[in-house]
Amino acid sequence: MTDLLARWRRSVDRAAAELADVPDREARRRPALGKWSPKEIVGHLVDSASHNHRRFVEAQGRADLVFPGYQQDVWVQTQRYQAADWPDLVRLWSAFNHHLIRVVAEMPAEALSMPRAVHNLDELAWRPVSRAEPVTLGWFVEDYVGHMEHHLAQVRQRLGT
């Protein structure tokens, strides 16, 4: 888990530094109709951090990994990330992830490594896993980081960086 936490922190710090000076007009640019702009992707990552914060905290005291989902597109539209202040959005995303890194770093090893036979990560995870296959909270945290890095690569691609 130590390696994952270090990778996560490096990814957040690198992206926050890269995105800090991106002009708002570039952050608002959508690559195509119906596709998210970099602002909306970072907003989605804030939402993902928010939902997974609750999941990671609650999972420590539960025998399952069953959580409600959310309508990602509705959340992005309703919060009007396209109109958000870009530097504030990047700082919010960065700070939230630094908090999550701290939360995960403080988790007991048993909570991270205990197999959970009951889960709905076939619906929630970035890399879905069959309900017939037990999974750990540590795996779910790693999936969160992979999801975040995937979207950061999309942002970089859309910004041409």
The DSSP letter of residue 119 is B
Structural domain range at position 128: 2-159
Whether the Cβ atoms of residue 118 and residue 64 lie closer than 8 Å to each other: yes
pLDDT bracket for residue 113 (50, 70, 90): very high
Angle formed by the axes of helices 2-19 and 137-159, to 10°? 20
Length of the chain: 161
pLDDT bracket for residue 161 (50, 70, 90): confident
What pLDDT is stored for residue 61 in this prediction? Answer: 95
Mean pLDDT for 102-116 is 98
Chain segment 54-105, per-residue pLDDT in tens:
999 999 999 999 999 999 999 999 999 999 999 999 999 999 999 999 999 9
Whether the Cβ atoms of residue 42 and residue 156 lie closer than 8 Å to each other: no
Kindly tell me if the per-residue pLDDT of 151 is higher than 90.
yes
pLDDT bracket for residue 13 (50, 70, 90): very high
| Main-chain phi, psi angles of 30, to 5 degrees | -95, 140
Averaged pLDDT of the chain? 97
Alpha-carbon distance of 62 to 89, in angstroms, equals: 32
pTM value? 0.97
Q: How would you label 50-82 residue by residue, b for 16+ Cβ within 10 Å and e otherwise?
A: ebbbebbeebeeeeebbbeeeeeeebbeeeebe
Q: For the chain, what is the domain count?
A: 1
- CATH of residue 49's domain is 1.20.120.450
What count of other Cβ atoms lies within 10 Å of the Cβ of residue 94? 21
Biggest alpha carbon distance in the chain? 47
Chain segment 31-41, per-residue pLDDT in tens:
999 999 999 99
Closest by CA to 115, choosing from 130, 136, 95, is 136
Whether the Cβ atoms of residue 128 and residue 77 lie closer than 8 Å to each other: no
